[in-house]
Structures are given as structure tokens and as C-alpha cells.
Structure 1
Amino acid sequence: MKLYSLSVFYKGATGVNLLKAAYDVSSFSFFQRSSVQEFMTFTSQLIVDRSQIGSRAAVKEQDYLCHVCIRNDSLSGVAIADSEYPSRVCFSLLDKVLDEFCRQVDSIEWPKGSPDVIRYNGLEAHLAHYQNPREADPMSKVQAELDETKVILHNTMESLLERGEKLDDLVSKSEVLGTQSKAFYKTARKQNSCCDIM
């Protein structure tokens, strides 16, 4: 999972204005980096231009996903990541960045501002922090822990049944299950075994 760029734009009546951007192109060869960065800026600007105010979208381009969020005040954010990076985390990050940008940069500067003039330095820190979405986003961390627990439980159940015991034998020997439960299990087992090869 990789996050490549974060950009903040203003979508005005006369066009889209880049206000600030941060890039991580370290995974590309040295000679490709400037071209890749220019292409990311061009793609981000095009997506903002073609998207509606007040919308969110994820646009797939080859192996990359471009996430765009355009607020009702025309402040826009774009995050470009690989296709494995969780979209929910990208949109959460964009909301955070746009709120922070809005608090730090006066809206009067948005229509004519440029990356050299705008005083906002949070993009690089967010780009670095969100490289690992499981560490940066609490929900992703919880989901990863749940997935690990599910795998552990699945492996534990398989290891119990691998000891030469069969579930049928365990059910028939069980003192906890009543007669009706055992009969229900046998009936269900027979109905589900229609596809077994005899």
C-alpha cells in the first residue's frame, strides 16, 4: 500500500488553481520522478475540473486510484494511491487536510494563491504519516486486529479437527447437546451431503 500524492486545489469559475501539493515519488526511478510528479499534478487538476462541487469520487487510472473530494466552498483535495490503499482512509485524510487548510489559509487567498505563496505545511507530514494506513487510521487498525483474530480462530478450529476427531463423533458423544439438537445436526448433514461422491 502506497500513498503517492496529496494536493489541495481551488475550483473556481475560471478554472482549477493548485494551492499546495506534496509527493512521494521515491519508488520511481530517479529519471522518472519529475515526469511522474507532473503527471500526478495534471491528473489531479483534470479530475477536480471534471468533478462536481460537493462531490467525492475515486477514479481508477491503471494501477492507481485518484480520490477527489470537492467541498461546497470549492476547496478541493486529491489523494493518489495504489489500488490496494483503502479508499475510506483516503477520504478521511482528505477531510482532515481540507479542514486544516481551511483553518490555516484565508479563503481570500484561494482563487489566486500558488504553492509558493500559500503558507500551509501540513501536506508533507500527512503524506508521511499516512503511508501505513493501519497505523494512521484507528478504524484500519481495529479492522486489521479483527482480521488477525478471525484467522487465529479459523486456524484453531482446523487444528482441533485435524487431531483425527470428526465433528460427527463429537456431536454424537456430546452431553451438552440434547436429542433434538443431535437429530437436527444429522438431518442437516444428510441434506447437505447430496453433492458428496459415494
Structure 2
Amino acid sequence: MKVFAIAVFYKSQPNAILVNGSFDLQSFSFFQRNSVRQFMVFTGKLIIDRSPIPNRTTVKEQGYLCHVYIRADCLSGLVVTDEEYPSRVAHNLLSKVLEDFSAKVPPSVWKVDREPENIDYNGLDSFLARYQDPKTADAMTRVQEELDETKIILHNTIQAVLERGEKLDDLVERSEGLNVQSKMFYKQARKMNRCCTWV
């Protein structure tokens, strides 16, 4: 999972204008980096130009995902990731980037009809570095991964108990911690699952 670019645009008429950007193109050869950067900016401008205001969208282009968020004030963001990167995390990143950018840079600086000269904003670099690993940057992704790991551990633990020659059915019958209703529920669920496997 990788984030290649984060860029801020102003959706001007007739064409979007790049206001600020940060790129991590180390995975491309040195001679391709400028072309890749230009193509990412071009694709971002194209998506923003052809999208309504306000809008959130994700477009797949040549094995990459271009996530775009256009706010009602025409401030727009682009995040380019690989296909494995979670879209929810990318759109969360876009919201945070545009919120941070608009809080630190006044609209009079970025609401212009040409590319702004020197914008004193370097927050995109820190966002780009922090969001390379969605698990560390996003709490929900981290919780989901922990749940998946716990599920695997529980499954392995139950399998280890069953491999010792004990059957789960026998353990349920002998259990004093389960009431009669719970035991009946287990038996019915077991029968239903058996029935489904034969179909």
C-alpha cells in the first residue's frame, strides 16, 4: 500500500489550477519521475474539471487510484495511491488535508486564475509521510486489522483444542458454564450448518 501524491487544486474556470503538491516517486526510475508527476497532475486536473461541485470520487487509471474531493468553495484535493490502499482512508486524508490547508492559507492566496507563486504551506509532506501506512494513520483500519488478527488467533486456538482429540460437541455437553438454552442453540446451529454443507 502506497501513497504517491497529495495535491491541492483550485477548481477555477475553465481549468483547475495546481496550488500545492507533494510527491513520493522513489519507486519510479529517476528518468521517469518528472513524467509520472506531470501525468498525475494532469489526471487530477482532468478529474476535477469534469466533476461537479461538491464531489467525492475515485477513478482507476493504469493500476493507480486517483481519489478526488471537491469542496463547495472549489478547493479540491487529489490523492494518488496504488490499488491496495483503502479508499476510505484516502478520502479521510483528503478531508484532513483540505481542512488543514484552508485553515493555514487564506482564500485570497489560492483563489486566483493562475498558479500561485510561493505558498507558505508545507503540511502536505507530513501528511504524505504519515499516511504511507494506513494502519498507523487511521484508527478504524488499525482496529479492523486487530479484529482480523484476533479472529485468526481464536480460530487457531479452537483448532488446537480440537486436534487434541476432543470434539467441540463433547465439550459443550460437559460444560457447566452453558445453560440448557445455549446448548440447544449450539445443537440447532450445528444441524443447520451440516444441512447447508450438503446442499
Q: Would you say same fold, with TM above 0.5? A: yes
Is residue 15–residue 45 contact of structure 2 (8 Å, CA) maintained in 1? no
Question: Which position in structure 2 is the counterpart of 1:19?
Answer: 19
Alignment CA distance shift 1:122-1:113 (3 Å): farther
Q: Which residue of 1 aligns with 2:107?
A: 107
Greater Cα offset, 188-197 or 103-112: 188-197
| TM-score normalised by structure 1 residue count | 0.88
Give 1:142 deviation, angstroms.
Answer: 2.1
What one-letter code is carried by the residue in structure 2 that aligns with 1:118?
I
Q: 2:120 corresponds to which letter in structure 1?
A: R
Deviations 1:19-71 (A, max 9, x none): 01111010111221111111111111111111111110111113211110000
Q: Equivalent residue for 2:78?
A: 78
Q: Any idea what the Cα deviations from partners look like across 1:128-179, whole Å, max 9, x if unmatched?
A: 1111111122222222222222221221111111111112222333344455
CA distance in 1, matches of 2:102, 2:168: 61
Q: Does 1:6 align with 2:6?
A: yes
Once residues 126 and 179 of structure 2 are traced to their aligned partners in structure 1, the CA distance between those partners, rounded to angstroms, is 61
Question: Does structure 2 retain, via aligned residues, the 8 Å contact 1:21–1:115?
Answer: no
C-alpha contact (below 8 Å) 1:7/1:21 kept by paired residues: yes
5+ long unaligned stretches in structure 1 = none
Matches of 1:167 and 1:67, distance apart in 2: 47
Give yes or no for contact 1:60–1:66 (8 Å, CA) kept in 2: yes
Could you tell which deviates more after superposition, 133-142 or 74-83? 133-142
> What do residues 68-95 of structure 1 show as CA deviations (whole Å, max 9, x unaligned)?
0000000000000011111111111111
SS at match of 2:154: helix
Q: Distance in 1 between matches of 2:26 and 2:69?
A: 25
Partner of 2:129: 128
- Give the structure 1 partner of residue 171 of structure 2: 170
- In the alignment, the residues of structure 1 paired with residue 135 and residue 80 of structure 2 have an alpha-carbon distance, to the nearest angstrom, of 17
Question: Deviation at 1:12?
Answer: 1.6
Which runs of structure 2 are paired with 1:1-198 in the superposition (5 Å)? 1-110=1-110, 111-112=112-113, 114=115, 116-177=117-178, 182=183, 185-186=186-187, 188-194=189-195
CA 1:179–1:79: 2 relative to 1, 3 Å? closer
1:2 to 1:181, Cα distance in 2 relative to 1, 3 A: closer
Q: Which runs of 5+ in 2 are unaligned?
A: none
Aligned residues: 197
Please tell me the root mean square deviation across aligned C-alpha atoms, in Å.
Answer: 2.2
For the residues of structure 2 that align with 1:60 and 1:8, how far apart are their CA atoms?
A: 19
Matched-pair contact (CA < 8 Å) for 1:105–1:120: yes
Q: Is the 8 A contact 1:20 1:114 kept in 2?
A: no
Query: How far apart, in 1, do the equivalents of 2:119 and 2:55 lie?
Result: 24
Q: CA deviation at 1:104?
A: 1.8
> Does structure 1 retain, via aligned residues, the 8 Å contact 2:68–2:76?
yes
